[in-house]
A = this chain, B = another copy of it.
Amino acid sequence: MRGQLYIALLHHPVLDREGRVITSAVTNADIHDIARSAKTYGVKRFFIVTPIADQADLVRTIIGHWTCGAGGTLNPSRREALEALEVAGSLEEVVEVIAREESGPVSTVATGARLDGSCVSHGQLLEILENGCGPTLFIFGTGWGLAGEVIENSRYRLEPINGAGAYNHLSVRSAVAITLDRLFGRRG
């Protein structure tokens, strides 16, 4: 029996193009696209993680517009997606919220285009989830990917998405969509 699924999109700690740890800016397209993918694939909650109060307020304003404001009336499917969206100040806070809600430990899964070492494949991870590993939190990084400490502290590392060749520069929105589809999509 699979546990509940969660997603965290980190804006800190993530890397810049030179590999320095930074805080990236929140992007409107990330909010909408990932919320819609999360809803499509049965994710219970999607956390936008930023330590910057102004950025957190901006996200809350966007959520308000689409859930309580004019946007929600105009576009109910978008409202439905954004209702599962929440803002948090840190990854630790997200893990605490989920652990409290689910009354148990959270399995964290780090993702990234350049992960190596002891990664699990999508097939292996699905098997682990189906065998019951409790609530699962998928962690995605903005910028140039998750900082090393996040990867090291995660329970699992998911193998990178491979396309047709060496080029591998998907947007994080596309990476979330593909990851969820590989694991939870139904094929005809």
Q: A residues near B, CB below 8 A?
A: 17, 29, 32-33, 36-37, 39-42, 75, 77-78, 80-81, 119, 121-123, 159, 161-165, 167-171, 173-178, 180-182, 184-188
Contact = CB atoms under 8 A, between A and B. Distances in A.
Contacts of A78: 169
A184 B164 contact: yes
A174 B36 contact: yes
A121 to B, nearest CB: 4
B184 A41 contact: no
Contacts of A119: 188
A171 B169 contact: no
Contacts of A122: 187-188
B171 A33 contact: yes
Q: How many copies of the shown chain assemble into the complex?
A: 2
A33 B170 CA distance: 7
A36 B169 contact: yes
A163 B187 contact: no
Contact of A163 (B41, B77, B121, B164): B41
